[in-house]
A and B are shown apart, each in its own frame.
Chain A
Amino acid sequence: MQRETCDAPNRSFFSFSIRCLIFLLSIIMLLGMFGAPTPATTVLAQGGGTDDTDESDAEAAVFIRNPTFEVGTTTSWTKRPKTGNGILYAEQSQNAIPTNGSWNAALEPNGATITMQQMVLVTVKTKYRLQVWVSSNGVTTQLIWWTKEEGDHVCNTATKVFPDYGPINCDLVVPAGTTKFRVKLRALSAPSGKWVINDGWSLSSQTHFYAGARKNGAFYGVAATIGTPIPAIREPNFSYSTVNILRSCTGCPIGLAGMEAGIIRGLHTSCIPKFSFSTSDLGWSNRPIDSPRPVVGVAYRFYLFRISTNRWRWQVWQGMTKIYEHPGDISITANGGFDSGTYISANGEVDSPNRYNDMGVSDLTGLSWMTSGLLWNSWNGWNTSLNTGPPYVRYDYDGNNIQVYGNNGNPLPPGTPCGY
């Protein structure tokens, strides 16, 4: 079932060489086949119905099931037409970037046009991005979403030739009345010997997942003790545990004035956790701090507070020791400045277009807010609960503590290293 080739990356040279040597002496020199990934002859045939009206694959989830094929099979996917020469199977060669392994699904048309597909649950009138990584030796593919009411929507036609192994996307809005549809990858008719591999399926209506607690009122500072999480960043984006002090603002980036501070990992920091802050004047672009750096598992107390009109301080404490203070005051000048917040929040965030990032677990405890008299109060509850939806990011809490954790729907094994 597993296709072995010499061109698999991410393996040690020696193991690779040994395998290649055996392979070479027995086959390669005789056949002259090395180089581009070559389809295997082992097939995992998929059952199912015969056409799009068939409901045999009606089982559906809010995510694409088996999106990475790292289980070594194409389970949850069906091939159409069910019969004929075209084949669908799992193979192991190239590592698509968003995934952690080298398994892919492969389609061999063998003279026919064939499709792999599965049903997913979706939310009506919601925008989604459907994405899959593809590569081929010259087969044209079509990325399709199909509804019972409207049939196929062919939204991307591409011929990606190895070694180009990259994503193709569809942006779509779910029509009224549609609660599920099929995602499909169609390989157009091509002669025997042609193949297309695919990996890293995702269907997402957003990339930025978020959970938090928000409190309304008049605030002049916010504080929290934040534990440094161990996120698994598999995509070139980030996860973040943060506190904010904000007010709504017409004309400000994303309609908010204010500032935030916390621990970031991913964006601009590779896999190194760093203290970071941003403000509306910075367009909410992160400003990671190179030194000092947070230590995984250690909790730090963050203070953002006003010291006088439109002058704010950002401090980081470990225990009773201040280990960092932003040099100089922080002032926000655009859109009327920022002299107090109308809400404060404590949050966990993870950005992951293909849902391969995991933000880890982070406690945000001892939530405090500052009065105009420069004194601190405990939150004692909050009035807005934000949660982008399980299994993305969740929290549990009492009146002054929250916990944020989670991923974007594709749980990674414990200990999965950070890196991309």
Chain B
Amino acid sequence: MHKFSLTCVVVVVAAFAGLMTACSFANESGTRDSHVANTQNSALNNTAPVSEPKPQFFELSENPRASKAGFDFSVQLVATSPKQTIMLYSMTAPESVEARDFAIDLIETGKSRENAKENSILEQFDKLRFGVLKFDPPSSRGAEFILRLDSPQTGPLELNVTKNTNLANSESPLNEGDRSIISREGSIEQGDYLVSFNGFGLYTRNLQADQANAQPRTQEEDLKAAQTRPAAAEPQQTPAPVEPRKITQELAEGKEIWSDASFRIENRVTKEVKILYVVILEDGQVKSRILE
């Protein structure tokens, strides 16, 4: 009995020693893990990128537009990513001229000419057409684009589309996050129409008029105007991400949305106004709907 008990004690003591050793190792293991963490954190902190604003590498040229012999072509919006270049354009042309009659090339500074991969009509307002051009992605962050249009009726036409604004990184290749969509500002007259960029998203008011009619205000007035949500005395849950609007979801048909924008089309004769709402999808498709 005693011998058995002694054996038990030895076993238990040995087991306890083993337990402590194992647990000691576990803690040590945790410590080692923390050491790894600290080392890693330290290494990362030493090279941690600063929270820096994102440079703007290019912008639209001052007037991306070409006109000749009743033909009027203007780029309205340029979307670039490492996967593609998309341009939305508005165009008026004599009835005898179809969009397909035009050969459209994209010339990127220092690169060879590239044919449009796609040139399709998005919507038509009598003689005013909205179309989509698709090209390969820019070869560098500071790409400068020139469009060259040619048809038997007009002969060759060129328009500068973008210009480099940041020489520091202009030669750098695009990376995954170099995506931007730049719109034309203000309004242009094309045929009987006044075509205006009406803001990103679905904007059904008159953005140009809103800008023109904006009343400058003092800081106190600005503070009062900004009180759209009450200053919470107690912490609140942050809002949930805003769901895309129903119309946006309908146009996207379940696909990933890259961006959306609105154009205001005013018939200068009849004063009739329509909103062209455009959704650009991640896969490069461009969907649209005319809103009365």
Residues of A within 8 A of B (CB): 6-10, 13, 16-17, 20-21, 23-25, 28-29, 34-35, 94-95, 97, 123, 125-128, 163-167, 204-210, 212-214, 216, 223, 225, 227-230, 235-238, 240, 242, 244, 246, 248, 250, 252-256, 258, 260, 264, 267, 276, 278, 283-286, 295-299, 301, 303, 317-320, 343, 345, 347, 349, 351, 353, 360-363, 365-366, 368, 371, 373, 375-378, 380-390, 392, 394, 396-399, 403, 405-406, 420
Contacts and interface: CB of A to CB of B under 8 A. Distances in A.
A87 to B, nearest CB: 24
Nearest to A135: B36
Given A25-B15, A376-B221, A384-B182, A284 B168 contact: no
A204 to B, nearest CB: 7
Interface stretch (B25-33, B67-75, B153-161): B25-33
17 contacts: A29-B14, A34-B18, A163-B33, A205-B176, A242-B51, A248-B165, A255-B169, A256-B52, A284-B52, A345-B53, A366-B228, A375-B216, A380-B199, A381-B200, A385-B180, A386-B179, A398-B199
Contacts of A10: 30
A284 B48 CA distance: 12
B174 interface: yes
A29 B174 CA distance: 59
B223 interface: yes
A8 B52 CA distance: 38
Interface residues of B, number: 97
Nearest to B221: A376
B285 interface: no
A98 B53 CA distance: 25
B191 interface: no
Contacts of B198: 381
Contacts of B39: 166
A242 B242 CA distance: 19
Nearest to B230: A319
B227 A360 contact: no
B175 to A, nearest CB: 5
Query: Ordered nearest first, which 10 A-B pairs have the shortest CB separation?
Result: A255-B168, A388-B177, A297-B236, A205-B176, A319-B231, A375-B216, A366-B226, A9-B30, A284-B52, A163-B32
Contacts of A319: 227, 230-231
Given A298-B236, A375-B218, A388 B179 contact: yes
A393 B83 CA distance: 18
A267 B48 contact: yes
Interface in B254-285: 256-259, 261, 282
Contacts of A126: 82, 173-176
B111 interface: no
A244 B51 CA distance: 12
Interface in B212-254: 214, 216-232, 235-244
Contact of B83 (A123, A298, A376, A383): A123
Contacts of B235: 295-298
B241 A394 contact: yes
B26 A240 contact: no
A246 B177 CA distance: 20
Contacts of A347: 53-54
A28 B22 contact: yes
B263 to A, nearest CB: 12
Interface in B1-50: 14-15, 18-19, 21-23, 25-27, 29-30, 32-37, 39-41, 44-45, 48-50
B114 to A, nearest CB: 15
Contact of B41 (A236, A392, A396): A236
Nearest to A298: B232
Interface of B: 14-15, 18-19, 21-23, 25-27, 29-30, 32-37, 39-41, 44-45, 48-56, 59, 81-83, 165-169, 173-177, 179-185, 197-201, 203, 205, 207, 210-211, 214, 216-232, 235-244, 256-259, 261, 282
Contacts of B52: 208, 253-254, 256, 278, 284
Given A236-B41, A255-B55, A284-B52, 19 more contacts: A13-B27, A123-B176, A225-B229, A236-B44, A237-B48, A242-B51, A254-B168, A255-B169, A278-B51, A383-B183, A383-B184, A384-B180, A385-B180, A385-B259, A387-B180, A389-B81, A390-B258, A396-B243, A397-B200
Given A368-B226, A381-B203, A396-B244, A420 B175 contact: no
A227 B238 contact: yes
Nearest to B244: A396
A365 B228 contact: yes
B3 to A, nearest CB: 20
A34 B51 contact: no
A163 B282 CA distance: 43
B65 to A, nearest CB: 16
Contacts of A246: 53
A397 B164 CA distance: 28
A388 B183 contact: no
Among B36, B220, B235, chain A packs the most CB atoms within 10 A around the CB of B36
A413 to B, nearest CB: 15
Contacts of B50: 267, 278, 283-286
A383 to B, nearest CB: 5
A152 B197 CA distance: 49
A202 to B, nearest CB: 12
B201 A396 contact: yes
A116 B213 CA distance: 62
Given A163-B36, A318-B231, A347-B53, A376 B217 contact: yes
Given A165-B33, A223-B222, A6 B177 contact: no
Given A28-B18, A381-B203, A396-B201, A7 B53 contact: no
Given A205-B177, A380-B210, A386-B54, A250 B168 contact: yes
Nearest to A362: B238
B282 A297 contact: no
Among A167, A368, A376, chain B packs the most CB atoms within 10 A around the CB of A376
